[in-house]
Amino acid sequence: MSTMQSASVANSYTITNCQVCSSDHLIPIMFLGYLPPVNTMPPLGVAPKEERAFPAEVLYCQECQLVQLGTVVDAEILFPPTYPYTSGTTKILRDNFSQLAEEVVARYPLSSSELVVDVGSNDGTLLSNFVQNHRTLGIEPTNAGNLAREQGIDTLTAYFGEQAAWEVLREHGPAKVVTCTNCFAHIDKIADVVENIIRMMADDGLFISESHYLLSLVETLQYDTIYHEHLRYYSLSSIKNLLARHGLQVVHATRIPTHGGSIRVYAAKEGAYAVESSVEALLEQERQELNLQKLKEMQRRITQSKLALYNLLYTIKEQGQRIHGVGAPSRASTLINHVGLDHGILDCVLEIAGSYKIGKYIPGTRIPVLEESKLYDEHPEYVLLLSWHIAEELMPKLKAKGYRGDFIIPLPTPRIVANNEVR
C-alpha cells in the first residue's frame, strides 16, 4: 500500500459523537456489515486482490434526531479523480434539475448578473439550466468537472472547504443561490460545510439542498442507499436543527422523486424570506410517521427482505435459469454485498453504452459490468432491476428494446413482474 493510500485509511474514523450537535447519545439502529467503497471498481481481468471494506452501522442521535453513518471514510478513497458517476446520464435527474431551475426563477427574483454556485457540481447538469441567463460556477473535485467545462460552465476543481469558499468570493463575489444536490449528506465536518456555504452567500442569498429523504428510506426499505458516501440521512427536522445552529432558517421544503425519494430544502439567513406553510406541513408528517421505534424495526425488515430475495433467486437458479442485473448505480453495490450475491447468482450487471462502469467489476465481487446490448443478444430468463426505484420507468423501456424475459424487483418486497404485465 502506498504512503498516500495509508494516509487515506488513517484519515477514516469511527463516529462517537453526533456529526451535528456533538452529543454522545447515539443509538445503533441497523448494521449492514462491512461494505467496500461503492465506486472503487477493479477493471475486468485483473487478479483478485485485497479490497477495503468499512463497517456500515447506522446511528440515531437522541438530541437532534440526525440519522448518520457510524464510520467516516476519507474523501480521497470515496471520491478519487476517476470517480465514475455522472448525473447527466440519468433522465430523472436531468428533469429534476430543469424543474429546480424553473422553480427558483419563478419563486425568487434572480437577475442575470447574480451568481449561482453549485457545490459538488459533477458534470454541470444542474448549472446547465442556469448558464445561459445567469453567472454560474461549479465546485467539483473529480474529473467530471472537465465535462462541465466542455459545456462552457466555469468549474473550480477542489474539495469544498474554506479555501474554496474564499476563492469563490475573491474571484466571483457573493452568490445569490448556492446549491448542494445529493452531496450535502456526503461531506464530512458538516458544521464547517454550512459555515463555508454561508460565507459564499449574499445577505439575501438562498441555500438549496437536495438529499435522500429519511422518510422515503423507511417507507420503501431503501437500505441499499446506505453506503459510505452517505454520511447522513436527513429528515426535515434534522436539517432544520442543523441549519438553525448556523443562523439559517428553512423557508420552503418539498419532497421530490429523485433517488427513490429525496427532500429539497430552501434556506436563507433569518428574516430574509417568509417561511412557507410547506415547512410545518412536512414537519407534522414526520411527527406522525417517523419515530425511533420505526427506525429500530428497519433491521428486522431488512433481514426479512434479504431472506425473501435469496429464496426467490434460489428457486430461479435451481431451475437452471439465468439472471442478469440491470443498472449499476452506487446503491447496487450495497444490495449485492449485503445480500451476498456473486457471479454464480448474477451472471453480469448491464449498463447502457457509454457508462464509465462498463468493463469493471461490481465492488467486492467478480460480477462483471457489461454493455446492455448483451441483454438483447442473450435474453436471460430474468433481469434483477438494481435501479428498482425507477422500475416503472425501466421495464417498458427494456421491453420496447426487445427484452422478452421477466423482471425481478428486489425491494421493498422482492417480487417478479412478468413481461406480459408490462405496459
User: What are the backbone dihedrals phi and psi of residue 299, each rounded to the nearest 5 degrees, phi first?
Assistant: -60, -45
Which residues, 6+ apart, have CB-to-CB distance to 122 below 8 Å? Answer: 85, 86, 87, 88, 138, 140, 142, 144, 145, 148
CA distance 53 to 34: 5
DSSP state of 273: S
Q: Which three cell numbers stand for residue 284?
A: 407534522
Q: Which of 141, 148, 186 is nearest to 164 (CA)?
A: 141
How distant, in Å, are the alpha carbons of 149, 237, 249, 265 from that of 282? 38, 9, 15, 11
Please give the pLDDT value at position 1: 36
Q: Are strands 406-409 and 415-417 parallel, antiparallel or unpaired?
A: antiparallel
295 within 8 A of 29, measured Cβ to Cβ = yes
Q: Which three cell numbers stand for residue 375?
A: 441483454
Encode pLDDT of 289-347 as tens digits. 999 999 999 999 999 999 999 999 999 999 999 999 999 999 999 999 999 999 999 99
Grid cell 461549479 is found at 138
Encode pLDDT of 190-246 as tens digits. 999 999 999 999 999 999 999 999 999 999 999 999 999 999 999 999 999 999 999
Q: Span 392-404, mean pLDDT? A: 96
User: What are the backbone dihedrals phi and psi of residue 126, each rounded to the nearest 5 degrees, phi first?
Assistant: -65, -50
CA distance 119 to 102: 19
pLDDT category of residue 386 using cuts at 50, 70 and 90: very high
Encode pLDDT of 125-161 as tens digits. 999 999 999 999 999 988 888 999 999 999 999 989 9
- Strand partners of residue 232: 68
Q: Which fold has domain 309-421?
A: Rossmann fold (3.40.50)
Q: Which of 121, 236, 140, 225 is nearest to 180 (CA)?
A: 121
358 within 8 A of 371, measured Cβ to Cβ = yes
Residues across the chain: 423
Per DSSP, the three-state class of 296 is helix
Per DSSP, the three-state class of 401 is coil
Q: Do domains 87-296 and 309-421 have the same CATH topology?
A: yes
Encode pLDDT of 263-275 as tens digits. 999 999 999 999 9
Annotated domain spans of the chain: 87-296, 309-421
Report the b/e string of 300-311 with b at 16+ CB within 10 A.
ebbeebbeebee
- Strand partners of residue 250: 267
Mean pLDDT across the chain: 93
> Could you tell me the CATH superfamily of domain 87-296?
Vaccinia Virus protein VP39 (3.40.50.150)
CA distance 117 to 100: 14
Encode pLDDT of 31-66 as tens digits. 999 999 998 899 999 999 988 999 999 999 999 999
Q: Which three cell numbers stand for residue 258?
A: 429523485
CA distance 323 to 327: 13
Please give the pLDDT value at position 297: 96
Encode pLDDT of 73-86 as tens digits. 988 888 766 666 66
How distant, in Å, are the alpha carbons of 57, 126, 146, 182, 192 from that of 156? 34, 15, 10, 18, 19
DSSP state of 150: H
Encode pLDDT of 235-287 as tens digits. 999 999 999 999 999 999 999 998 889 999 999 999 999 999 999 999 999 99
